[in-house]
Amino acid sequence: MNMKSLKTIVVALALIALMPSCVNDLNPKSLGSQAVTATTVYNTPADYLSGLAKLYASFALSGQQGPAGNSDIAGLDEGFGVYLRELWNTQELTTDEAVIAWNDQTIKNFHWQNWTPNDVFIAAMYSREMYTVTIANEFIRASAASSDASVKQYRAEARFVRALAYWHALDHFGYPPFVTEADLPGAFFPKQTDPASLFSYIEGELTAIESALPDPSGVPGGADYGHATKGALYMLQAKLYLNAETYLGAGNKKYTECITALNKLFALNKYSLASNYLLNFAANNNTSPELIFTINYDGAHSQSYGGMDYIIHAALGGSMTATNFGVTGTWGGTRTTSALVAKFADPSGNTDKRAQFYTSGQNLVITDIGAFTDGYAIKKFTNRTIPDGPSASGVPDFVDTDWPMFRLADAYLMYAEAVLRGGSGGDAATALTYVNSVLTRAYGNTTGNITGAQLTLDWILDERARELYWEGHRRTDLIRYGKFSNSTYVWPWKGNVANGMSTDAHLNLFPIPTTDLSANPTLKQNAGY
């Protein structure tokens, strides 16, 4: 099953109507005699594959209908409450890379860094992470008895999906509630975990499933596209280890383990940099040899106002022409700050082709966050194909562009950072080669390449911004570097001040939502809230 045309599979494990901390899983029997449950839906490997599709779809979609109207989670709008949409908001709007013009409830508080435990957008991210964990638990439990080789692989993939959601929960909240397939359905209060325990659990899960996941095919858009392979696992391991000091405290370095995971990724020899940087963000990015793990969209079959539809539409406004980006309308929402623009020596895109700024009619300086024309617009993502054509589905209101969660250029930069931070198993010469391959692609030649003396940790942080902006990495990167909060590094409107100001260190974690604290008396609020 090629996951590019991912459709929502309606099974009982998808229906969660309660906050996840009230119960770990909704008992399917309570749905009535007509309910389709795990005991009746899973008869063949194809049945299990359909159930697995729902797990992957939990990142891309948020309900059973699409694009709106029948949410997985009661009280959470199907268009607003998409996992990817909230992941992007938390990882980008909180940083120097993005602002948003809208007045939707508390959305501006992300960039101002003055959110509270009552924030609806934080609650949406928390709910989506816990929901994905919940339905993964049900699938893992339902597939445990199968001896079929394909089903065993699907079960390993489900464990990867759960590990990924738990990694996001670790990164965002630190102390989320914790449940696994061993916690049988029924009403109870899940106990709160802590960063060290959750880190260890994710680490152990990834080690346990490594042999059960397939090697990547090396065929862009092939049968394994959108599935978890060993390549995706090694990337998630590397992400976990690179940020270990963030999660476990200063001195808990795991840069050697990060390099080990990345070396395993490179040894697969299945990925290469796309010759055109922008192919990674176009409607035919499923043809890029660089993508390691994606969240997949198909305009005809996975329609949502969240996810990639949001990321592309919200970035368009002012004098931008929607059809140039393969869609029919502009939403006038997201732009970037001068802090990101300043990281490019030439923001025109004529030298470094990654500088995808739309400047016509746009002001570099943001005087009013609510005005779309304040702040350069970003034209990086599009619903048109490379070199230049319409999307395959022919449904311009809903996009075909997939979300590039993990890609090779990121792995190259992670390797260089881990080497500079003292990890063993790598070397500076190889790190420089990897970095310069990224720069050669960016410039189209070697004029942007650097020397070993120029390869510093600060340079890598800025290079990660140039290469990976708007791809959901920036908040985590800034925290790892000690520049997100409690820092002299500021950007426009950080702290709700035009020139930016330092903010308190407790903001490195989001608060546990008030609604869940009320529902689960065993939970405690994160420090500072």
CA–CA separation, 312 vs 329, rounded Å?
10
pLDDT digits (tens, 9 = 90+) for 99-128: 999 999 999 999 999 999 999 999 999 999
The model's pTM: 0.93
Count CB-CB contacts under 10 A for residue 494.
25
CA–CA separation, 325 vs 286, rounded Å?
17
Tell me the pLDDT band of 71, cut-offs 50, 70 and 90.
low
* Cis bond before residue 387 (omega within 30° of 0): yes
Tell me the pLDDT band of 184, cut-offs 50, 70 and 90.
confident
Per-residue tokens: 5: 């045309």
Is the C-alpha dihedral spanning 433, 434, 437, 439 positive or negative?
negative
Tell me the pLDDT band of 364, cut-offs 50, 70 and 90.
very high
Phi, psi angle pair for 49, to nearest 5°: -65, -40
Question: Which residues fall within 8 angstroms of residue 510, CB to CB, at 6 or more apart?
Answer: 90, 115, 122, 125, 126, 172, 173, 526
| Residue 372, pLDDT above cutoff 80 | yes
**Side-chain half-sphere CA neighbours of 264 within 13 A:** 20
pLDDT digits (tens, 9 = 90+) for 409-450: 999 999 999 999 999 999 999 999 999 999 999 999 999 999
| Residue 382, pLDDT above cutoff 80 | yes
| Residue 215, pLDDT above cutoff 80 | yes
Residue from 159, 167, 170, 161 nearest 193 by CA: 170
| Residue 19, pLDDT above cutoff 60 | no
CA–CA separation, 441 vs 434, rounded Å?
11
Q: Read off the amino acid at residue 211.
A: S
Tell me the pLDDT band of 188, cut-offs 50, 70 and 90.
confident
DSSP 522: T
Strands (E) located in 138-246: none
